[in-house]
A = this chain, B = another copy of it.
C-alpha cells in the first residue's frame, strides 16, 4: 500500500487539488480528509456548495476503493447518493470520513460522513464503485 503522501500528490493536479482536498488518514477500511470552505467553493449565502460535498466524498471513497483493488484492476463510481443535512460556513473546515460498507470482488460500497468543524453532520454520501479488470 502506497503512503498518504503518494495519494495526496496524485490528487494535486486533479479536481481534488483544485478544491483543496487534503488526505489526513487512510487505510483499507477508512479514509479521512479535510477541506477548507473557501469562498470559491460556496453557493450563495456563504455556505459550502452541494457539489463540493459530493466531489469531496467521491474522492475519499474512490481512494478507499483503490487501496483495496487487486493488482491490475481499476475502479469507477457507478452510483452516488447524497443526503444534505446541514450547512458549513465559509472559512471553516469540513472533515470527511469515508468507511467501507462492502468490499467485494465486483463492487465496493463506501459511505462518507462530512462534518462541520463543530462536528455537526452536514452530508452523508453513499457510493458504489465498480471493480474492473485491466488497466
A residues at B contact (CB < 8 Å): 10, 13-19, 39-44, 49-52, 54-59, 62, 76-85, 87, 101-102, 104, 106-107, 109, 111, 121, 124, 126, 128, 130, 132
Contact = CB atoms under 8 A, between A and B. Distances in A.
Contact of A79 (B18, B76, B82): B82
Copies in the complex: 4
B128 A78 contact: yes
Interface of A is mostly: mixed
A18 B18 contact: yes
Contact of A40 (B17, B109, B128): B17
Contacts of A14: 39-40, 42-44, 49
A76 B85 contact: no
